[in-house]
Structure 1
């Protein structure tokens, strides 16, 4: 599988590129309808998240609701971290066809966008990380406190409303050329509908009541999506503004330990930017990385192979040696 470095060069597009089929919904600019839809998908789950506390206080939650929230949260989260990110974006391992399809669908059910568009955006992020051209750097407006506050908002949510889109044919041609992945990307709205419909369906059937369907939808769909969105977006914002930096990277990516469990290991972000194709991000003692654990299980089952596990010598070669690990100093290192 091509890695990010194979597909994000700045060379002019060849005539052959023009023949690539359309990857997903829309062109290279977001229209008004899409921006309104995006706003609804951000705002409605967020309102549900805000309402969750008083609803729970009024006994509007059951163990079934919590189970639905946790199950679908980690299904979508691992679909993004293992599928969208480590596999499709960086080629950290190779996958047999059923796993490849399953990861694309599971990632789509996180409601974070079509797989091809997500991958294209993230490959562009790595090419220009925390520099001009990065779609979502919190350092976009400068290093003063007001500029950073504005930049954190941009990196967390604002960048998604930018009309300019990352060219998918340039940054993800390998996925555009795959008919199955292209189809899943185009069908994103249907995977979203399935993701939102399953919790209330299960809740309603399990309790044989409309109230069970409602609370299943509230907790397993709305609250779950809002929580996963903000955890994922925190990797773009918080993990590029704060955190320890024990490894050399050419940007300001940091490790934020308190996001590790909720982000399925993605918040060990400094190692990821120091060694983007590594299948494991939490490489130090005590660093929980559930995504790496699941990749290991898939390898043992024969579903994944050629996994790029980091060797001890490679990890040591990436370490900071000048004492800048916790100062936020930008280092120079090769990026994938």
Structure 2
């Protein structure tokens, strides 16, 4: 009996986004394409920032870490989902499920904190441009990124530990494509009150705290930009924030819709599509959002391509 005090199931069955056989191949091809674009796009962003000397400012340090978090974030769920599409069992072990939950929460929180750091970077760049190099030094940027890692891991450890305390009885089928918190809580045969309480308290503090920090940073930015006399100067200042604001809107909009609601009103079927939005689509779009609106990144990309093409035309 002691061995069953934690769980009575050895594995879970991930049913995926759709159980219709005719949809399996289109879904596999779609998510494989998005995953390939995500990995290659974010890898290019990291490579450009490392190789281009003019992309060494704090903003690009944060952007490279955001790209790395996006790669890890998507790699936590998509490869297993692609494997399960053609798997007859669609199984994931109990330990593997908890590990997936941990890394998913960790990298989601990492993206959350890095987006807040990027907002602070824009605040210093626009509101205190002459002190920017003195305030955001390389050492401070490294310390800020390290803090993001520490807090993300602590956040993930808390919720994974609480999930490990739940008991799962006969039902081990998860109508989702990965081991997310709410789908797991839905099939637990013990009370999930503490888990829900921590999502709506500690989880809200982590997510809404970073979002409030972002909003406060942009409130200061807007107040400074509105004092710029020329319309061209205002547009130039706002344009440096456009990419970041786009990513923030997509990420926090979908994240809030999925998690910050009562467990009783949570619908796995409706939430699967929204979850796929911020776990797969948003990380895939981030490289395009930042590269298409950023002159420095586009310049570095052109130089990188020219260096690659040069040996072939000699």
| TM-score normalised by length of structure 2 | 0.30
**Relative contact order, higher structure (CA 8 A, sep 6+):** 2
Point out the structure with the larger helix share. 2
* Structure ID, larger Rg: 2
| TM-score normalised by length of structure 1 | 0.29
